[in-house]
Each structure stands twice: as C-alpha cells, then as structure tokens.
Structure 1
Amino acid sequence: MTSPTLTPCTLTAGDLLLRPLVEADEAAVTEAMADAGILRWAAGRVVADAAPADRGRVWLTARLTAWSSGTAAFAITDADGGGFLGYLGLRDIQRVPDQAVAAYWVAPAARGRAVAARALDAAASWAFRPAAEGGLALHRIGLDHALSNEGSCRVATRAGFRVEGTLRESFVDPAGLRHDSHLHARLATDPGGRPRRG
C-alpha cells in the first residue's frame, strides 16, 4: 500500500498547539539535539553522526516535506506564545491498513509538564476520527521504545498506549548498542487514555 499524501493540520491539547514543522524551527531543534537523551533515543544515526551545528537542519529537512509522504510531523508548541517544546510524529500511516507508528521527544526545558503524553493523546484522538470528521480513520497506533528509556514508557502509558510485549534487541542506539524495546499500542476501540499531568 502506498503512503497517503496528508493535508497538514493543527491540533490543540489544552495549553499545547501541535502544528506542522517549519524552517524557522531549526534553531530550537538544533538546541534540542544537543540533549544526550534525545540524541540517543530519538534522533537517529544520521543525525547523531552529523556535526553538532548541523543536527537540527539534518533532522528537520526530512520532516518539512513529511506530510506529502504519509507522515504527520508536528511541532509541539505553547498555544499562547508558540514556544517550541518538542516533536510528535505519526509515520508509516496506512503502510499496514488502518495503522500508524508514533514517535515523540520533548526539549529538556519543557519536561515535567506531561507535554509528550498530552500531545500523543491529542494526535491519537485525531488519527482515530473518521476521515469525514477530519481524521485519518486509523484503528491502531503503535510505538516502541528502548527499555532503558523509562520516560518514553511513562509517556506512552499516560496517553493510553498499553504495553503489548518486548521486542528483543530491536533498538540500536547511535553507539551501536542493542536494546530490548517495549511495544505499546492504542486502538480506536480502547477507552480514551487521558494523560495525567506530572
């Protein structure tokens, strides 16, 4: 199945705004890519191998056109002032019928506010809505994270993504180390997992 072309949209989640990424996000993304956790767990090898000054551009370039190739790539920002807080993406949309894969990260200064969990919940709720209501009509959204990345596990659980099992040695970090990963998923038929703050 080919990846759909998506119409970029904006979502709200309380005091958060999820909007398509723009070139002006590069400085904030570059700053976030200096965080060891983001670089290890969420940036990918190509970004990690780039010079530190280039990491934001390398990461962002692939996502600026992502909507046209079936990935909903959102900047997570403050709704009132637009401050950049992190990233939430739904990729591989419809690669398997009615499914997608979620990924996220939050800049260090925005942690402790349940930003990623609230953004993930908002994106999942949107993606599960019927197309006639502006959604993607998905049935299942999965995600996985290295077991050592406990913060990501808390995000997934708070957003209603149940643990389904362990993927042995499925995650390879930029240093080449293999990690077991938790597999989480949320279905359109699951009770709405409302994230808790804190």
Structure 2
Amino acid sequence: MSQSTTAPAPPTISAEGLLLRPLTEADEPAVAEALRDADILRWAVGRAVTGAAPGERARAWLAPRLACRDSGTAAFAIADPDRDTLLGSLSVREINRLPDQAVVTYWVTPAARGRGLAAGALDAAARWAFAPAADGGLGLHRVTLDHAEPNIGSCRVATRAGFRLEGTMRDFYVDTEGIRHDSHLHARLASDGPYPRG
C-alpha cells in the first residue's frame, strides 16, 4: 500500500513567543537578508541556493518552498507573533515517504538566535506532525532531523526540542566549500509524549 506524499497546506501555529505560518512571496526581502549570513549559507540552504548569484538566492530558496506541497513538504516561516516579521524557516519534508515519518529542517536569522525560537518552532512543528489528522495534524509517528557535526548550535536546538541523538552518519553532509562532514541523526517519536521545553 503506497502512502500519499502530498503535504497538507501548512496551518498557522501559535507557540510561546513565535508564530509558525505558511511562507509567502512577501517574505522574499527578509529571506534575502537572512541569506547574507555565512552560517545559514554553510549549513542550511544547499548548493542550488549557494550556487545562485547573491541577488537571486532568495528567489532560488523561496520559489520551491512556495510550490512544495506536491513533493510532500510543508514549509513554514518562523515569525514574530506581534509584527509577523520573518525570523527563520522550518520545513517538514518527505512526509510519508517512509510510512508515518517525516524529516524536519530549520534555520533562524542571526538576530533571532539565543532566544529559544528554533527549539520552540521545532517543538511546535513536531506536535503538529504527531497530532491526529482529525485534529488537523499529520498523524505521524517519527520525525527526524540531521545536522553537520560541527554545527553544535543545531545539536542544542534538536536536544532542547526532544529530538534524541540516535547516531552519526559518516561523511553525510557536504558544505559550501565541498568539505564533507559527519552528521548527527536525531529523532522524536509520537510515543515519546509531550516534551517539556527547558
């Protein structure tokens, strides 16, 4: 029996100090600003974006995320709940490529770092992913993420959001300079229960 890989329209999710909402074309200037950050370029966007001319990177990053539902991805902006300004991005992708599973990716802007927003957004997205479809969720059992081993900030975010370290994938990630890095694999299960952020 094959699983559907079409993602539902991303909902708007309120969490403590942040808002997860669908990305829009109006986010392009904020994405362009974020993509000036060396860490986001190195760890979070991939070669299609880093290979584009600097003035085209935001469009190269945003366009596939605005049209990604058919590929099994729900793409969110991490936004300020009062001003609705973009502070980062989170995608739940490969939904049901493996039954009842998905993969999550995320980044936050330099100005938003150190405030717990990435962990809060990751926790909120996991709760949505695990919620039954009848309650507006995806009804998944397992959500994974990976990060290059030198990206220790991402490791802290994953752990704070209840994603347990499961192992190391050797030479898994290739950075913008073509250097291979081992990557940590983290996962959170629906059966892990609600994770108290701390």
Match of 1:77 among 67, 76, 79: 79
Q: Structure 1 residue 69: deviation in Å?
A: 2.9
Question: Using the alignment, how far apart are the partners of 1:152 and 1:88 within structure 2?
Answer: 13
Contact 1:121 1:194 in 2 (8 A): no
The one-letter code sitting in structure 2 at the alignment partner of 1:130 is P
The one-letter code sitting in structure 2 at the alignment partner of 1:63 is R
Question: Using the alignment, how far apart are the partners of 2:7 and 2:14 within structure 1?
Answer: 22
Contact 1:75 1:87 in 2 (8 A): yes
SS at match of 1:184: strand
The answer to whether the aligner puts 1:155 opposite 2:157 as a matched pair is yes
- Alpha-carbon deviations, 1:122-145, whole Å to 9, x = none? 000011011011100000000000
**1:166 alignment counterpart:** 168
SS at match of 1:62: helix
Contact 1:167 1:182 in 2 (8 A): yes
**2:60 alignment counterpart:** 58
Question: Using the alignment, how far apart are the partners of 1:7 and 1:59 within structure 2?
Answer: 19
Contact 2:89 2:106 in 1 (8 A): yes
Superposition pairs of residues 33-112 of structure 1, within 5 angstroms: 33-112=35-114
Contact 1:146 1:182 in 2 (8 A): yes
The one-letter code sitting in structure 2 at the alignment partner of 1:39 is L
Question: Using the alignment, how far apart are the partners of 1:55 and 1:108 within structure 2?
Answer: 18
Structure 1 gaps of 5+ residues are none
User: How many correspondences in the alignment?
Assistant: 196
Identity over the aligned pairs, expressed in percent? 62
Q: Which runs of 4+ in 1 moved over 3 A?
A: none
